[in-house]
Amino acid sequence: MTSRHVPSPSRRTVVRAAAATAAAVPVLATATTAPTASATTTGQDSAARTPAPAFLHGVASGDPLPDGVLLWTRVTPEPGAEPGSGRGADTLVRWEVAEDREFTAIAASGTTLAAASSDHTVKADVRGLRPATTYYYRFTASGPDPEGGEVRSPTGRTRTAPAVGASVAGVRFGVVSCANWEAGWFSAYRHLAARGDLDAVVHLGDYLYEYGVGEYPTQGAALREHRPAHEILDLADYRTRHGNYKTDADLQALHAAHPMIAIWDDHEVANDAWSGGAQNHTPGTEGEWAERVAAAKQAYFEWMPVRASTEGTVYRRLRFGRLADLHLLDLRSFRSQQASIGSGAVDDPERTITGRAQLDWLKAGLAGSDAVWKLVGTSVMISPVAFGALPAHLLQPLAGLLGLPKEGLAVNVDQWDGYTDDRRELIAHLRERGITDTVFLTGDIHMAWANEVPVRAATYPLSPSAATEFVVTSVTSDNLDDILRVAPQTVSLVAATAVRTANRHVKWVDMDSHGYGVLDVTAERAQMDYYVLSDKKAKDSAASWARSYRTRRGTQKVERADLPVR
């Protein structure tokens, strides 16, 4: 079928809609100290006064397996060899993995090349390690001058996953999303880096933002400026922006302290991206969409500790013993264009958010899992959030006659709400196959939520829930208060009440805070502890526990927990 381009609402539009409704995270010292870079120092300034080669962008690990982990760093081979510049010679890099911080018990080692063709980034997919074990790693490089000696990177700490068939008492993840460089300091990352109890950190997308200086947040509100200053479009741009983010001391500390498991959302490419374009991409002046996507994805896989699939996507599956399978989704590469708000096109079975192959892969993985918990990392919210929902016996015939959405008027068609047939098929699959204890982990919307995923929203709670969902708020990206420039709870209390009144499966929503989550999983329950920052614009912002919600095994229900997990 053909469809007319209708610009979809940005995150700012959605949060304003909520306002309209109201009106009517100590880390290893060696791991956190970059040679010269600071949170505000650009790569160019650092390189200009640092001997070559240098490790200016920290170290990272990711995608832990029972027998291995992916290691990452970036070498600056000479002064001025900035990310995206193409400057600098290929440099041989040695990596080491040890069982102790002093590297007296080397578990694995090897060499790889930091090549100009990959922006001098380095990835080592290390195998042969022991499951459920903490390791330390580092990199060493030598410059072209034989008398210059070796330069060693900061030391990172990582951890392998439990054995596939292991009986695991528990796993614990930090959970984050939506970190806009210009909107605040990455204090949430610092607080998570300081924790010694995490198996990994799950990043649910919008790791970086593509906008030019002052575009988002609005002009004049930028706390610190992006590099490059313009909206990023080509490979050099995306490489430069990734490098810009990885000069942040708190982000470096997070990567050095824990393995990261990441997926992308839209801003790693462009706002409200879909398979054929984006809300803020103009082919006539900004080049072909396919070229921009290819550049963004190449830079992402160069700069992130993520294993790319053969299809060049991020959907994949990780296992944590028999306790949890983590299914990670790519909800941008294959989706149809967003529908307009209020259009019945959201129910069109020809439209998709996952693509056929990914949805089949997810369904097969969920049905074939013998893990207690089926965790699903989704960049956008799957729980419906709609207004004007009528009883099902009235809504469906009216919707058919009037061309309205069958599940009520969705306020964010960039979420699963804009692709209801994929959601219906997935929920039906869970019910028909008797798949229980599925928990969706979500970011994107710059608010914190605790939801049940209803089989039929219009008749909930008379109809059951098929799964649960925990949504984390943004690290820094603007939420309701930031956009409206009002004090917390000025409008959010009324807006949150309206949301919960119209959507009874929503058990809690926080529209005011920035922060992170900590998900603790045991055989009996999965609990999300929500932590909030005192001030995202304060470099030394404190963090405090706000609330906790959990789902008990076999219930598909969300309940409040009195205390965070210690």
Do the domain assignments include residue 411? yes
Phi, psi angle pair for 42, to nearest 5° = -80, 160
Q: Could you tell me the residue range of the domain that residue 62 belongs to?
A: 33-159
**Cα Rg of the chain, angstroms:** 23
Asked if 199 and 345 sit in the same domain, the reply is yes
Its sign, for the CA torsion 296, 316, 56, 29, is: positive
**What one-character DSSP code corresponds to residue 449?**
E
Residue 401: CATH number of its domain: 3.60.21.70
From 106, 129, 159, give the residue that closes a domain.
159
Assign 426 a pLDDT band (cuts: 50, 70, 90).
very high
Asked if 353 and 487 sit in the same domain, the reply is yes
Asked if 448 and 473 sit in the same domain, the reply is yes
β-sheet bridge partners, residue 157: 136
Residue 134: CATH number of its domain: 2.60.40.380
Do the domain assignments include residue 282? yes
- What is the percent of the chain with per-residue pLDDT over 70, rounded to a whole number? 85
Residue 223: how many CB atoms within 10 A of its CB?
A: 15
Per-residue pLDDT averaged across 522-549, rounded? 97
* Chain centroid offset of residue 21 CA: 28
Do the domain assignments include residue 432? yes
Over the stretch 434-447, which tens digit does the pLDDT of each residue have? Answer: 999 999 999 999 99
pLDDT beyond 50 at 39: no
On the CB side of 84, CA atoms within 13 Å amount to 21
Asked if 211 and 149 sit in the same domain, the reply is no
Asked if 517 and 497 sit in the same domain, the reply is yes
Do the domain assignments include residue 50? yes
- pTM, two decimals, is 0.89
From 159, 191, 216, give the residue that closes a domain.
159
Q: Which amino acid is at 375?
A: L
Do the domain assignments include residue 188? yes
Asked if 38 and 97 sit in the same domain, the reply is yes
**If DSSP codes are grouped into helix, strand and coil, which group holds residue 225?**
coil
Do the domain assignments include residue 6? no
β-sheet bridge partners, residue 73: 59, 122
**Considering the chain, what is the average pLDDT of its residues?**
88
Per-residue model confidence (pLDDT) at position 41: 37
Contacts with 335 (C-beta within 8 Å, 6 or more apart), sequence order: 274, 275, 352, 353, 354, 355, 419
Pair of tokens at residue 375 = 């965790």
Asked if 184 and 110 sit in the same domain, the reply is no
Asked if 399 and 535 sit in the same domain, the reply is yes
Contacts with 329 (C-beta within 8 Å, 6 or more apart), sequence order: 263, 315, 354, 358, 362, 376, 377, 378, 379
Go through 479-513 and write b for each residue having 16 or more CB atoms within 10 A of its CB, e for each that does not: bbbbbbeeeeebbbebbbebbeebbebbbbbbbbb
Do the domain assignments include residue 64? yes
Asked if 453 and 488 sit in the same domain, the reply is yes
3-state secondary structure 379-396: CCCCCCCEECCCCHHHHH
Q: Domain count for the chain, please give it.
A: 2
From 129, 159, 189, give the residue that closes a domain.
159
pLDDT beyond 70 at 406: no
Assign 458 a pLDDT band (cuts: 50, 70, 90).
confident
Residue 20: how many CB atoms within 10 A of its CB?
A: 13
Over the stretch 170-179, which tens digit does the pLDDT of each residue have? Answer: 999 999 999 9
Per-residue model confidence (pLDDT) at position 438: 98
Asked if 283 and 311 sit in the same domain, the reply is yes
Over the stretch 46-81, which tens digit does the pLDDT of each residue have? Answer: 444 445 799 999 999 999 999 999 999 999 999 999
Do the domain assignments include residue 70? yes
Asked if 464 and 483 sit in the same domain, the reply is yes
Per-residue model confidence (pLDDT) at position 395: 40
Asked if 352 and 415 sit in the same domain, the reply is yes
Q: Decide if 189 contacts 69 (C-beta within 8 A).
A: no
Over the stretch 3-27, which tens digit does the pLDDT of each residue have? Answer: 333 334 444 444 434 433 333 333 3
